Structure 1
């Protein structure tokens, strides 16, 4: 976009005497016209309830969806759109692990910071960021092994849900039915909220679909509404799956919201994630029977499918949580003994000394040491016997230093 557009977007305008001419110039700018065309595409697709994305998200490739297809069509006649696509492609080509790593290193140098002073890095779960061989985190760890990596907790929980949804065909089919229901009512699917609406209003929803199948003037919608009401909402397997998915998504959504709170600390995050894992392990043993009881309230017929659906979904939740949050546990193994006064006081001297020496080793790179493990051990021996309030103040200083 043009410089004057960036100025308006980020700095605003205070030349009110000339605001009319400024806005006219802005509206005639290439960047503004380009953006309005893109917005027009969004409005058109939304108005006609058409999907934006395809199975491929790359421009000028097959099956890349309605949005990118229309962008390609406009670019055939519009030089500004062609330039826009060229710049986007340049940006995409620079988002490899190496490209992003070089950009981060350059920014660190430009701000006058020392990359060897970095003690933590956190990104989403894109392969260019978290990749164990070519990702940004690996490249940074290669030159500074003390820059401990942890993934974004909320994004990782979203991937856990994706793992669960793809764990078996019946799990995938459940969400296809959810999408069909929301498409009929021209609404969007928002995971736990969409399942919640159906979970607690299944009878009313079925009644509404049947009424729609009788009164709607669109033959396609009439047929789809009757099909969903008759063959899905009256299907005991679907109702049971709805109970199971709501329980699972509600638990994950609760933790996800908590992880986004402003005062969330790493020790609390680890405890909550471990609690979520315990929930699924317990749910695996007792959840199916409870789900059956709830499902019986919605239907009289029963068609158990525990072994080929329930266990697939819950087992995938357990294994995915363990593998995707492995870095959090590594972080806890290094710094966990400093998380609370209660934990610190629970260690005998040999265990405390072992933790301090392990922290020294973890924060050592070549001949550079962040701390002396024995010095820290002697200080902590003294601090844990001091009044709790005084200790808390000192412990905060330590945590600021290490985190």
Structure 2
């Protein structure tokens, strides 16, 4: 039955002609690493995009070259023409996304039209991870949450006791594992201006509005200042605990989020500009539509005829 299902999938791919690939490796219960191969194409019956799982392939090496060779060999064995592949998507691991010896580049060297799109969920997770690692306070806080989760989840008795206490406090949150693949759902561009709102919510939840900076009243000996020195140090010393936390922690995290988000967005801008005529044509002028289609035909000259837009 499995072979018959695979034959049907291959016939669907043959009818649609073009497809994209998505692969990843995962260990099974016997600790054997296996490469998962998934193909995405358009179902020509209802013209809806579909994803089809093809197979697991045991692998012994995670190099980009080995993964690419394994994929090409399997597609060849199944009579799936790799020259019709038009896209590839993986996570951001260097062996997959590397610009020189990553799997995506090796496949692109074989077929220049196989454009690489990094996993959006994993990219957002990396954005969050970069913000977590940007300052000592954030590293300490999220490290504490991870240790707290590990402590309770290691024992079913501890976890049950935790849940009993949480049920008595409706505003208390359940600790969760800091997953490496958890998607970060939303980022608010103007949250830098909402510090007071977040502070108030945190104060209401924990019942404490004091800052550790306020108790750290360390006497700093005075020293002779040079002409070139500014008053930044004096300004920091005169700040309240709230101001120091906002400047040294809150703003640092938010700025890192914004910077990382912009960097990740740039990775998708090329594809968005290439296919914007398919999603935004209703708001485009006739001249803009023609120009966009000409650009699209220029990229996929072997797939689209020159009179495609006439």
TM-score (norm 1): 0.46
User: In the TM superposition, what is the alpha-carbon distance from 1:324 to its structure 2 partner?
Assistant: 2.7
| 2:267 aligned partner | 327
Alpha-carbon separation, structure 2, partners of 1:175 and 1:187: 18
CA gap of 1:296–1:120, structure 2 versus 1, over 3 A, is: same
Asked if 1:171 is matched to 2:80, the reply is no
Bigger Cα displacement from structure 2, 98-107 vs 179-188: 179-188
Alpha-carbon separation, structure 2, partners of 1:104 and 1:310: 45
User: In the TM superposition, what is the alpha-carbon distance from 1:280 to its structure 2 partner?
Assistant: 3.2
Matched-pair contact (CA < 8 Å) for 1:124–1:130 = yes
Asked if 1:129 is matched to 2:62, the reply is no
Alpha-carbon separation, structure 2, partners of 1:105 and 1:329: 28
User: In the TM superposition, what is the alpha-carbon distance from 1:301 to its structure 2 partner?
Assistant: 2.3
2:254 to 310, 314, 317: 314
| 2:231 aligned partner | none
Matched-pair contact (CA < 8 Å) for 2:87–2:113 = yes
User: In the TM superposition, what is the alpha-carbon distance from 1:104 to its structure 2 partner?
Assistant: 1.1
User: In the TM superposition, what is the alpha-carbon distance from 1:300 to its structure 2 partner?
Assistant: 3.5
Matched-pair contact (CA < 8 Å) for 1:116–1:144 = yes
Question: Structure 2 regions of 5+ residues with no counterpart?
Answer: 1-28, 32-57, 156-165, 212-240
CA gap of 1:254–1:371, structure 2 versus 1, over 3 A, is: same
Question: Structure 1 regions of 5+ residues with no counterpart?
Answer: 1-33, 39-89, 189-196, 206-241, 243-248, 256-275, 379-403
CA gap of 1:163–1:113, structure 2 versus 1, over 3 A, is: same
User: In the TM superposition, what is the alpha-carbon distance from 1:254 to its structure 2 partner?
Assistant: 6.5
| 2:191 aligned partner | 283
Secondary structure at the residue paired with 1:134? coil
Matched-pair contact (CA < 8 Å) for 1:98–1:134 = yes
2:288 to 313, 334, 351: 351
Secondary structure at the residue paired with 1:121? strand
Matched-pair contact (CA < 8 Å) for 2:88–2:117 = yes
Secondary structure at the residue paired with 2:304? coil
Matched-pair contact (CA < 8 Å) for 1:280–1:317 = no
Aligned length, in residue pairs? 206
1:201 to 169, 172, 177: 172
CA gap of 1:199–1:289, structure 2 versus 1, over 3 A, is: farther
2:297 to 360, 379, 384: 360
| 1:194 aligned partner | none
| 1:293 aligned partner | 200
CA-based RMSD: 3.0
Alpha-carbon separation, structure 1, partners of 2:170 and 2:101: 43
User: In the TM superposition, what is the alpha-carbon distance from 1:282 to its structure 2 partner?
Assistant: 1.4
| 1:372 aligned partner | 305
Matched-pair contact (CA < 8 Å) for 1:149–1:327 = no
| 2:226 aligned partner | none
